[in-house]
Amino acid sequence: MNKDMVYLDNSAVTRIDEEVLKAMKPYFFDTYAVATSEFAYTMGIEAKDALEEARATIADSLNADTEELIFTSGATESNNLALKGVMYNQKEKGHLIISDIEDFSVLNSAKKLEKQGYEVSYISVDEKGKVNIEELKESVRDDTVLVSIQHANQEIGTVQNIKEIAEYLEDKDILFHTDATHTFKRIPIDTQEVPVDLITISAHTIHGPRGIGALYKRKGVKIEKIMDGGFQEDNLRAGLENIPSAVGFAKAVELITEEENEKIKSLRDTLIEKVEEQIEDVTLNGSREDRSPQNANITFHYVEGESITLHLDMRGFAVSTGSACFSKSLEASHVILGIGGDHERAHGSIRFTFSRYNTKEDVNKIVEAIKDVVENLREISPLGKKGSE
């Protein structure tokens, strides 16, 4: 890979921090045993201690108790465990509510539950990606068991008012899950202030290792394990604990600062401002005000996002697109369509997501590159007026 590549796809995965890797290394080569009880051998006890220290660090970042955190293999497993674990635990097949623009691990878990006889309601969002709260309230039924609404959207970055939703559902005695993969450590969630019952988090978006995540489960919430095997993670997640990654996850949590988040937000705002000033016929997708700090999603009309992405890649920039050509399902972004966009808007959308390793120079470089790429592509575009002028 080109070492000079400007990487702006940090909502897909972030580069691991060197300090994270350093913290993990001893648990590959020195303390590499399986986590064992206090009555076993020394290396196993040390491994268990490291696992529990990591759990405590991550739980503390949510103002939660240590025993409320279940380690998983990442956001996908956490979302599956939250939705299926809650619904399977019911004596009768109940009702689930999610939004139209959830990540696929929530969306497809809900669809799987539907096939198994559970009922699911899908709540619409407005043109900025905000959940229709009144529609959500009207969808609540006597047999509603769980509502799952993401904290921030994976594509357009719109942040939901989960406190309002959680408080409403608490009064109704309905469980509430939020996928916080794209806000964890970027936008605080205090479980003592927001009565959310289940929270999905992951290390891969905060410069931690891939393959490690967690599910916060409030005390008293009952779920059924969905993967059979041993009795690890309070008998809720079978399999050997990934101790090196758990340690790395905790270190990644410790390293993020408010100053870093403000820097990332500034880069995001600068990119949006420069693109809107210097390039015609663009649309910012998602909420301008209520937005995750790292995300800018912009549609460049009259051109394909696939073409923009490939041309930027050749110039040393990594971004992602909502184009159907980049989807294995060959469908346009369900998120852009969900906020009222048409296929042209979805196909021309580009997601730029920032991390601690990005700079103002990166923003200046990519804006110049986008201007040139979009101008050249519009000259040959068959998609609309720019291609026929």
What CATH number is associated with residue 96? 3.40.640.10
**β partners of residue 298:** 284, 350
Identify the three-state secondary structure at position 183. Answer: coil
pLDDT higher than 50, residue 326 = no
Model confidence band, residue 323 (pLDDT cutoffs 50, 70, 90)? low
pLDDT higher than 90, residue 378 = yes
| pLDDT for the residue numbered 388 | 47
Q: Are 130 and 158 in contact (CB under 8 A)?
A: yes
Q: Are residues 79 and 186 in the same domain?
A: yes
Q: Are residues 294 and 333 in the same domain?
A: yes
Q: Would residue 325 count as lying in a domain? A: yes
| pLDDT for the residue numbered 272 | 98
Model confidence band, residue 350 (pLDDT cutoffs 50, 70, 90)? very high
**β partners of residue 158:** 291
- Please tell me the least confidently modeled range out of 170-184, 325-339, 360-374: 325-339
How much is the CA Rg of the chain, to the nearest whole Å? 22
- 154: phi then psi, degrees, rounded to nearest 5: -70, -25
What would the pLDDT profile of 116-145 be if each residue is shown by its tens digit? 999 999 999 999 999 999 999 999 999 999
Q: Are residues 116 and 134 in the same domain?
A: yes
User: What percentage of the chain has pLDDT greater than the value 90?
Assistant: 91
Model confidence band, residue 40 (pLDDT cutoffs 50, 70, 90)? confident
Q: Among the three residues 188, 223, 255, which one is the final residue of a domain in this structure?
A: 255
Q: Would residue 6 count as lying in a domain? A: no
Q: Are residues 214 and 263 in the same domain?
A: no
Q: Would residue 80 count as lying in a domain? A: yes
**β partners of residue 179:** 200
Give the total number of structural domains in the chain. Answer: 2
**β partners of residue 23:** none
| pLDDT for the residue numbered 384 | 59
- Please tell me the least confidently modeled range out of 60-74, 228-242, 317-331: 317-331
Q: Are residues 73 and 135 in the same domain?
A: yes
Cα 104 from chain centre: 10
Domain of residue 314, CATH code: 3.90.1150.10
Q: Are residues 182 and 315 in the same domain?
A: no
The residues annotated with a catalytic role in the active site are 325
Q: Among the three residues 235, 255, 275, which one is the final residue of a domain in this structure?
A: 255
Q: Are residues 237 and 271 in the same domain?
A: no
Q: Would residue 8 count as lying in a domain? A: no
Pairing of strands 119-123, 95-99: parallel
Torsion of CA 287, 292, 294, 299, to 10 degrees: -20
| pLDDT for the residue numbered 324 | 44
- 300: phi then psi, degrees, rounded to nearest 5: -105, 105
| pLDDT for the residue numbered 330 | 57
What would the pLDDT profile of 50-99 be if each residue is shown by its tens digit? 999 999 999 999 999 999 999 999 999 999 999 999 999 999 999 999 99
| pLDDT for the residue numbered 381 | 77
Q: Are residues 209 and 106 in the same domain?
A: yes
pLDDT (average), residues 160-178: 97
Q: Are residues 241 and 349 in the same domain?
A: no
| pLDDT for the residue numbered 325 | 44
Domain range for 84: 18-255
| pLDDT for the residue numbered 383 | 65
Q: Are residues 205 and 62 in the same domain?
A: yes
Model confidence band, residue 382 (pLDDT cutoffs 50, 70, 90)? confident
Q: Among the three residues 223, 255, 287, which one is the final residue of a domain in this structure?
A: 255
Q: Would residue 13 count as lying in a domain? A: no
In whole numbers, what is the pLDDT of the chain averaged over residues?
94
In this structure, which long-range contacts are made by residues 168-174, counting pairs with CB atoms below 8 Å and at least 24 apart in sequence? Answer: 168/133, 168/137, 169/140, 169/195, 170/195, 172/140, 172/144, 174/140, 174/144, 174/145, 174/146, 174/147
d(CA 323, CA 157): 17
DSSP symbol at 291: B
Neighbours of 4 (CB within 10 A): 7
pLDDT (average), residues 294-314: 96
d(CA 81, CA 200): 10
DSSP symbol at 190: -
Q: Are residues 101 and 213 in the same domain?
A: yes
pLDDT higher than 80, residue 27 = yes
| pLDDT for the residue numbered 37 | 72
DSSP symbol at 229: S
Q: Are residues 199 and 63 in the same domain?
A: yes
